[in-house]
Structure 1
Amino acid sequence: MTYKSLVNKAQKGNEQAFIELLQHEKVKLYKMAYLYMKNETDALDIVQETVARAFANIHAVKEPDYFSTWLTKICINTALESIRKNNKIIYMEQPIPEIAEDLALDEKMDLLEAIEQLDEKYKTVIILKYYQDLPVKDIAELLNCPQGTVKTNIHRAIQQLKKQVLKGGSQYGEQY
């Protein structure tokens, strides 16, 4: 069964089709939520809320090929809403597995801490570009902004990350 037909069936009320769609997306959703929430419990809460919102609004998907993008957008908005609502400081409990595996642990922590300090718009484009491997075009659609804005935000985020890592006294500064 194709992805498109699953979305169409889910829109017609087929719960099994919706569950099958989620099977393809669950790991990506969890990683996205974890990057924002920084702990397993809150990330799982965000995923659960995302699934509930998606199920309630599946009829709103206009183009079945963009179901994944639509779901990711719900996840990001749910996480940001939760952060704003709770207005809490988020601390990194542990490094995220499978991200930047070629970096040493200290480098991973420096990078993750630097990403945490970015403004939301920069943090979001970095996560979508480098952790979700989305092309600029898809990020622009997801965030409802021009591709040029996405490219600019990625560039600015990278510049800020370089400054953060260098400022942190990293011995890796000469590589940049």
Structure 2
Amino acid sequence: MDLSEKVTLARQGDQEAFVYVIRAVQQSLYAVARSIVKNNEDCADAMQETIAKAYSNVHTLKEPTYFKTWIIRILINECNRIIKKKQRVSPVPYDTRQISYTGDYELIELFEVIDQLDEQLQTIVMLFYIEDISVKEIAKLLHVSDGTVKSRLYRARQQLSELVLGEGEDKYESS
């Protein structure tokens, strides 16, 4: 049974199907939340609120194939709400170097490099390259134009290239 079939069951009130679809998108939710809020406590809060809202409103989802996009939109809104709330409470900067990803060292290094990008670019890169969401869907999620997404991806690629290869180095020189 594929994800959209499970989403259909969840829309009809099947709690086990809902748990299944949440587990299927759990890593994606964490990666997106982490790229926005920067710390594990806020990630957990955003994910918890997102799951609660998704559970309460899954019956309103019109197209089961868009479940992942739908829940990521809810998550982005929750992350933004948390950031706004923190800005009102205390302007303490986040420590972007505290990364707790497990797995291959290459993945950790990738996320460390992505964390060095501007916040807008981090989200775009995570959604496009890590979560494999199309430019059109990202534009809808972030309420921006397709051209804005494309230009941010272009800027992100430039910044990533500079971060990985170093400024002033010949990018085409073989070692």
Bin the TM-score by the shorter chain: 0.7 to 0.9
Tell me the equivalent position of 1:48: 48
**Structure 2 residue runs without a partner (length 5+):** none
Matched pairs, number: 165
Q: Does 1:74 align with 2:74?
A: yes
For 2:62 and 2:22, how far apart are their aligned partners in 1?
A: 18
Paired residues of 1:100 and 1:108 also in contact (CA < 8 A)? no
Q: Distance in 1 between matches of 2:107 and 2:4?
A: 36
Question: Post-superposition shift, 1:137?
Answer: 2.8
1:94 to 89, 95, 99: 99
Please give the TM-score of this superposition, normalised by the length of structure 1: 0.77
| Structure with the larger RCO, 1 or 2 (CA within 8 Å, 6+ apart) | 2
State which of 116, 123, 138 in structure 2 corresponds to 1:114.
Answer: 116
Distance 2:47 2:4 in 1: 22
Give matches, 1:122-161, under 5 Å: 122-160=121-159
The answer to whether residue 166 in structure 2 is matched with residue 172 in structure 1 is yes
Alpha-carbon distance in structure 2 between the residues aligned to 1:17 and 1:112? 33
Following TM superposition, by how much is the alpha carbon of 1:71 offset from its aligned partner in structure 2, in angstroms? 0.9
Q: What value does the CA root-mean-square deviation take over the aligned residues?
A: 2.8
The alpha-carbon distance between structure 1 residues 55 and 175, as it changes in their structure 2 partners (threshold 3 A), is farther
Is the contact between residue 69 and residue 138 of structure 1 (CA under 8 Å) also seen in structure 2?
yes
Structure 1 spans left out of the alignment, 5+ residues: none
Assess if the C-alpha contact under 8 Å between 1:95 and 1:108 holds in 2.
Answer: no
Q: TM-score, normalised by structure 2?
A: 0.77
